[in-house]
Amino acid sequence: MGRKLLLDKAHVENIRTYDVYRREGGYRSVEKALKSMSPDAIVEEVKKSGLRGRGGAGFPTGMKWTFIAKPEGVPRHLVVNADESEPGTFKDRYLMEFIPHLLIEGMIVSSFALGSNVSYIYIRGEYAWIVDILEQAIAEAKQNGFLGKNILGTGFDCEIYVQRGAGAYICGEETALIESLEGKRGNPRIKPPFPAIKGAWERPTVVNNVETIAAVVPIINEGGDEYAKIGIGKSTGTKLISACGNINKPGVYEIDMTISVEEFIFSDDWCGGIKNGKRLKACIPGGSSVPILPANLLLTTAKGEKRLMNYESLSDGGFATGSMMGSGGFIVLDEDQCVVRNTYSLARFYRHESCGQCSPCREGTGWMEKILWKIETGNGKISDIDLLWDIQRKIEGNTICPLGDAAAWPVAAAIRHFRDEFEWHVLNADECLNKNYGLAHYADPIAVPQTV
């Protein structure tokens, strides 16, 4: 097992309390950063580390930080995205629940680097008990001089506030999140202007994922170069993966991005293999929005190489034969699972979560849900499969925010790789009500499609 940088201490008894966290070396990065580094030097370390945003898009964090505008006299803000609503994803919850001070520590350093004197954590409303945990950690940090006025005598002031959302996946999208923080409906904004120029209350704002900000702590403690030595290529450092579905050991794992997908699924160190002795059928490796892959393409790339658990390898082959790292929500389907039903369930999710501003997304998600339901319940036609394909093509790229793409991709990938399963549902209308199509993709690896 590789090194852990974030969850290493997560199970030390009482690590949630300031005293234990501090005794275990907590808040060292704040002392180092505030007392011996300039904000620019911190940004430089983060750049060197190669850290990529852990919220889903994988954008280099250091670079994002250099975009923040610094108009004279205008306050700037750091907002941590703890909305975590992408199906399959529950890693930020784990981090905040077990080691809340790590997030607070990372936020203080990041706030200093960005010049944010008031920073926010926007957390999904359902994580109500985690709000209490975070507020307790913030209060303790403040009592001990790590938050508030003149932190450690350095002249830097910083407050952190927690705001609860109220049940809306779209508020994870950064401009919708900002709207919500301002007390409005979560309708994404048209970009530009980007939040780094005009974000919350028209002030320059950086929105980063919980895990991204937590990773700043080891980066500052060990240096960006040391951090970059862990991992492979442009996948530096460690990544939290939340594994779920039909596996023996669901949970949150910190990996160093050098292990193979096969090892991750089957080794007892990680997922422990498929539940109930079944076989692996398919997997959605990075949260519900990323393309589903059949077992054969999941374990090896189209070039025949072992697929690894990192950004480059998971996306190898593009959407024709690959997928994405996304948010790290790893959803495994066993041989008994029905791809049509699973796709229907996700389509319903996106229809429910569409904010309704753009017609392709608002109407298209509803259509896809209805057609998938028809096929799943044995009322579909072969032409419905083509219609589905057509609808998803018309959504992708034609909307204000990426939720449209996120809704289109799962449907596209399901048809691309499991078209025969959709056809089987149409042709076996009675049987498909109580039986799934089954194993074919594992037993007989399918030919690699030539085109998208």
Partner 1 sequence: MSVEFSKNSLSKVAEIISHYPAGKQKSALLPLLHLAQEEFGGWLDVPVMDYVATLLQIEPIEVYEVASFYSMYNLQPVGKYMFEVCQTGPCMLNGSENIIEYIKEKLNIGVGETTPDGMFTLKTVECLGACGYAPMMQLGKHYREHLTKEKVDAIIEECRAKAN
Ligand X SMILES: Cc1cc2nc3c(=O)[nH]c(=O)nc-3n(C[C@H](O)[C@H](O)[C@H](O)COP(=O)(O)O)c2cc1C
Site residues for partner 1 per CB under 8 A: 75, 84-90, 92-93, 118, 120, 124-129, 161, 163-169, 180-186, 201, 242-246, 250-252, 284, 288, 329, 331, 333, 337, 341-342, 345-346, 348-349, 352-353
Q: Cα(191)–Cα(447) distance, rounded to whole angstroms?
A: 40
Q: In terms of Cα–Cα distance, which of 237, 180, 211 is closest to 84?
A: 211
Q: How far is the CB of 381 from ligand X (least distance, A)?
A: 31
Would you count residue 106 as binding ligand X (CB under 6 A)? no
Q: Among 5, 170, 283, 309, which residue sits at the site for ligand SF4 (rule: CB under 6 A)?
A: 170
Nearer to partner 1, 27 or 94 (CB): 94
Residue 67 interacting entry, from ligand SF4, partner 1, ligand X, none, C-beta within 5 to 8 Å by type: none
Nearer to ligand X, 101 or 189 (CB): 189
Would you count residue 408 as binding ligand SF4 (CB under 6 A)? no
Would you count residue 320 as binding ligand X (CB under 6 A)? no
Q: How far is the CB of 176 from ligand SF4 (least distance, A)?
A: 8
Would you count residue 388 as binding ligand SF4 (CB under 6 A)? no
Q: Among 87, 188, 204, 224, which residue sits at the site for ligand SF4 (rule: CB under 6 A)?
A: 188
Q: In terms of Cα–Cα distance, which of 114, 8, 58 is closest to 328?
A: 58
Nearer to ligand SF4, 179 or 376 (CB): 179
Would you count residue 170 as binding ligand X (CB under 6 A)? yes
Greatest Cα-to-Cα distance within the chain, rounded to the nearest angstrom: 74
Ramachandran region, residue 60 (left: φ > 0; alpha: ψ -120 to 50; beta: rest): beta
Q: Cα(367)–Cα(427) distance, rounded to whole angstroms?
A: 21
Q: How far is the CB of 224 from partner 1 (least distance, A)?
A: 31
| Dihedral sign (CA 373, 375, 381, 385) | positive
Q: Identify the residue whose tokens are 């939720």.
A: 403
Asked whether the beta carbons of 79 and 205 are under 8 A apart, the reply is yes
Q: Cα(62)–Cα(48) distance, rounded to whole angstroms?
A: 8
Write the DSSP symbol of residue 122: E
Q: Cα(91)–Cα(99) distance, rounded to whole angstroms?
A: 12
What crossing angle do the helices spanning 403-427 and 339-353 adopt, rounded to 10°? 150
Q: Among 275, 348, 362, 393, which residue sits at the site for ligand SF4 (rule: CB under 6 A)?
A: 362
Q: In terms of Cα–Cα distance, which of 155, 120, 150, 145 is closest to 135?
A: 120
Q: How far is the CB of 407 from ligand SF4 (least distance, A)?
A: 8
Under the rule (CB under 6 A), what is the footprint of ligand X? Answer: 53-57, 59, 61, 81, 83-86, 170, 172-174, 207-209, 212, 401-403, 406
